[in-house]
Amino acid sequence: MNNLLLENQYALVTGASRGIGRAIAECLAEAGCHVAVTSRNGQECDAVAAEVAAKHPVRAIGLQTDIANAESVHELFGRLRIWSSGVLDVLVCNAGYPFRPEIWETPLHATPADKLSMWYLDAFGTDAMGAVFCTFEALSLMRSRQNGRILYISSTPALEGFQGTPYTMAKSAILGLMRDVAREYGKDHIRANALALGNIQTPATFEQLDQETRLSLAAEAPLNRWGAPEEVGKAALFLVSDLSSFVTGQALVVDGGALRR
C-alpha cells in the first residue's frame, strides 16, 4: 500500500487524544496527512500532536475543544482555518460520550426517572450533535474547494441494537447524518461514510470490564478477540483516501465478524 495516500492533505480528528481517535490520527499522519487533533484535554492534545509530528514528516496541532458546544466548535474551526490556510480535506468525527457502566448496564425501564434526560441527552449531545456541529463547519471549507471526505465513528449496536440505549440512539443518529450528508453533498465531490465498530480494546472500555466480561465479548466475534485501535485506523484510512473513491453513504462494520448480514 502506498504510505503517502494523503500526502500534504489536511485532516481534523475529534476525540483524538487517546484510543481510537489517536490511532486514526497516527494512521493518517503515516499516510502523509497533516493532522489537527482535538479533545477536551488541551495538554493531551498538545502531547499527541507533538508525538505525531516527531514520528512523521507532517504538521500536527492540538486544539482543545468541547465538541458538544457549538460555540466551542466554531472557535475550533477558526483556529483550524488559520493553521491550515483554510484547507480541510478530511474530517473524522470520532469524539464520543465517555463510557459509563451504570448507563451501559441499565435498561430503559430501570433508568431512574431523574436520570432520563441527562443520560440520553448528554450522550446524544456529544456523539450526534458534536458530529453535526463539526460537519456544519467543515462543509463551508469543503464545498468551497469542491472536495472532501467525512468519516463518522458509529458502532454495531446502531445496526442491530444491544444495550446501553443512550449510546445506541446517539450512534444510530450518526448514521442518519452520514447518509444525508452523502446524498446532499455528493454533487460537491464530498464523500461521507461511517465505521460501525464492535469491541475495540481501548482504555475507555476494555479496562473498565472484568475478565469474564472481556472474554465473553471477545467470543462474540468469529475471530475470537477484541479489535485493536490500529485496525480501526487502517479502515479509516481506506474510507478517507482514494482507495474508496466510489464509496459514499456506507457503514463499514469493523467487529471481527460478529455482525454478519
**How far is CA 135 from each of CA 21, 84, 261, rounded to the nearest angstrom?**
17, 17, 29
**163 close to 105: Cβ distance less than 8 angstroms:** yes
What does the pLDDT look like over 19-41, one tens digit per residue?
Answer: 999 999 999 999 999 999 999 99
Tell me what pLDDT residue 206 has: 77
Catalytic residue among 10, 97, 120, 167: 167
Percent of the chain past pLDDT 70, that is, above it, reads 98
For the sheet containing 34-39, what is the strand order? 60-64, 34-39, 10-13, 90-93, 148-155, 190-197, 251-254
Tell me what pLDDT residue 1 has: 43
Taking residues 46-75, report their average pLDDT.
Answer: 97
Q: From CA 156, how far away is CA 69, in angstroms rounded?
A: 26
Tell me what pLDDT residue 146 has: 98
Q: From CA 238, how far away is CA 234, in angstroms rounded?
A: 6
**How far is CA 150 from each of CA 35, 134, 173, 257, rounded to the nearest angstrom?**
14, 10, 15, 24
Query: What residues contact residue 202 under an 8 Å CB cut-off, 6+ apart?
Result: 18, 19, 20, 229
Tell me what pLDDT residue 144 has: 96
Taking residues 223-242, report their average pLDDT.
Answer: 96
Taking residues 13-21, report their average pLDDT.
Answer: 95
Taking residues 41-56, report their average pLDDT.
Answer: 96
pLDDT score of 132 more than 50? yes
Write down the H helix ranges in 12-100: 19-30, 42-55, 70-84
Taking residues 77-89, report their average pLDDT.
Answer: 98
Domain spanning 10-254: CATH 3.40.50.1980 = no
pLDDT score of 185 more than 50? yes
Tell me what pLDDT residue 26 has: 97
Closest CA to 147 of 242, 82, 59: 242
Q: From CA 26, how far away is CA 39, in angstroms rounded?
A: 15
At 224, is the secondary structure helix, strand, or coil? coil
Cell numbers at residue 142, please?
469543503
Tell me what pLDDT residue 47 has: 96
Q: From CA 179, how far away is CA 24, in angstroms rounded?
A: 22
Q: From CA 12, how far away is CA 33, in angstroms rounded?
A: 10
Residue 167 a catalytic site member:
yes
Least confident of 97-106, 173-182, 245-254: 97-106
pLDDT score of 130 more than 70? yes
What does the pLDDT look like over 84-102, one tens digit per residue?
Answer: 999 999 999 999 999 898 9
Tell me what pLDDT residue 235 has: 98
